[in-house]
């Protein structure tokens, strides 16, 4: 199984609702392909994890490169042969991090999501952001962040897409 974490930037700012719709479409496609994932957004910059069978994750990533809604795609880290999925509750979900007070409440620090806007991203920082946001989103929605067993990732509801 392969996990790829990448950063990308919107070419045109989209509304929360537009991003939520894109997330739902991605979740449906990912679920069919046995891919799970999670992403965070701040100021039009996304940090996203995809995990699943190697060929399927690579195909999904290839589609991302061809999607003209975003550019500046940077692979932050990639790990093959992971023993289990790290973000398996959802086929895809998004958490919006563009409120400094929300950032502080979730991450317990005074850093803001502006750290995500830097062009180069440290892999440990990226994984930490995703892991903490994922655990927070699971907690807020009453879902266990632990292994989902053999079930495919869930399709989130709009209320599962944490915004503040």
Higher local confidence (pLDDT), 26 or 121: 26
Candidates 66, 16, 22, 42; CA nearest to 133 is: 42
Average pLDDT over residues 43-58: 94
Does pLDDT of 4 surpass 80?
yes
What is the per-residue pLDDT across 55-91, written as a single tens digit (0 to 9) for each?
999 999 999 899 999 888 999 999 999 988 999 999 9
Locate the domains of the chain by residue range: 2-160
CATH 1.10.630.10 fits 2-160, yes or no: no
- Phi, psi (5° rounding) for residue 97? -115, 20
pTM, full prediction: 0.89
What is the per-residue pLDDT across 128-150, written as a single tens digit (0 to 9) for each?
889 988 988 888 888 888 755 55
As a whole number of Å, the end-to-end CA separation of the chain is 33
SS percent in the chain: helix, strand, coil, step 5: 40, 25, 35
Higher local confidence (pLDDT), 67 or 162: 67
What is the per-residue pLDDT across 16-44, written as a single tens digit (0 to 9) for each?
899 999 999 999 999 999 999 999 998 88
| pLDDT at 61 (0 to 100) | 92
């Amino acid at each position: 199984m392969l996990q790829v974490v990448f950063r990308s930037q919107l070419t045109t700012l989209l509304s929360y609702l537009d991003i939520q719709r894109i997330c739902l479409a991605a979740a449906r496609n990912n679920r069919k392909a046995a891919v799970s994932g999670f992403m965070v957004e701040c100021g039009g910059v996304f940090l996203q994890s995809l995990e699943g069978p190697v060929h399927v994750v690579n195909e999904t990533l290839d589609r991302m490169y061809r999607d003209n809604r975003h550019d500046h795609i940077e692979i932050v880290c990639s790990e093959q042969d992971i023993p289990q999925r790290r973000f398996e509750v959802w086929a895809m979900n998004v958490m919006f991090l563009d409120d400094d007070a929300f950032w502080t409440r979730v991450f317990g620090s005074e850093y803001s999501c502006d750290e995500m806007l830097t062009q180069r991203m440290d892999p440990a920082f990226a994984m930490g952001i995703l892991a903490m946001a994922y655990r927070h989103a699971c907690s807020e929605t009453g879902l266990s962040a632990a292994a989902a067993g053999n079930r495919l990732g869930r399709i989130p509801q709009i209320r599962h897409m944490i915004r503040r």
